[in-house]
Amino acid sequence: MNNTVRADRIEIAIENLNYEWSFVQLCKLIDYWYDGKSLYDAAELLKRNPDEVLILIVDFAKRRILPHRPYGVGPNARIWISPKMMKDKKNGVRQLFRESPVYIPFIENNFLWYDQEIHKFRALWDQGQSIIKIAKIFKREIEEVLFLVIDQGNKEMIQPRNGGLLGEDASENEKRRFQIIV
């Protein structure tokens, strides 16, 4: 039997963030999203790091709690929603608190990365690969790669690039698929 141990160092992507959210904070974010507030405005109003708010927005978009907006996380026009639909939406959010007094987005995901994987990720990023393709290469969820992008960008280990998260050569199918997530 081969009992080898990996010697790579392990890093946790964006480990310095507060992932815990209260029901009141979640409801406020929903209000801010429908009011058309930008990511940075919502973060300021919630007194949270913009990366923490971005993670929650991605989580809520994936759960279909927040709708797609034409300008994404930037300022947008107000989205009309009936008071009854808004109440139902917020009552639905209560279900996220069945097992815990706080909500932690993406708790089921893996944010541990071996040093070797991080170096390979940086090379793929510099080659212009989309985060969708990078996720396939690593056999990871797109969100796990997205959080590594945030982490590595904050550490200035990668730079913004043409085409953003999808790279320059993203297919139309990748663009449509990613639009659903964010």
State the CATH number of the domain containing residue 172: 1.10.10
Tell me: do 54 and 117 sit in the same domain.
no
Is the pLDDT at 8 greater than 70? The verdict is: no
| Confidence at 2, pLDDT banded by 50, 70, 90 | low
Which tens digit of pLDDT belongs to each residue from 86-133?
999 999 999 889 888 888 888 888 888 888 999 999 999 999 899 889
State the chain's mean pLDDT as an integer. Answer: 86
- Only one residue has tokens 């904070």, namely 25
Long-range interactions of 163-168: CB distance < 8 A, separation 24+: 163/128, 163/130, 165/130, 165/131, 166/130, 166/131, 166/132, 167/128, 167/129, 167/130, 167/133, 168/128
- Only one residue has tokens 């010697």, namely 7
Structural domains in the chain (count):
2
Quote the pLDDT of residue 7: 56
Q: Which of 47, 69, 97 is the last residue before a domain boundary?
A: 97
Q: Which domain holds residue 153?
A: 112-181
pTM of the model: 0.75
| Confidence at 62, pLDDT banded by 50, 70, 90 | confident
Quote the pLDDT of residue 176: 64
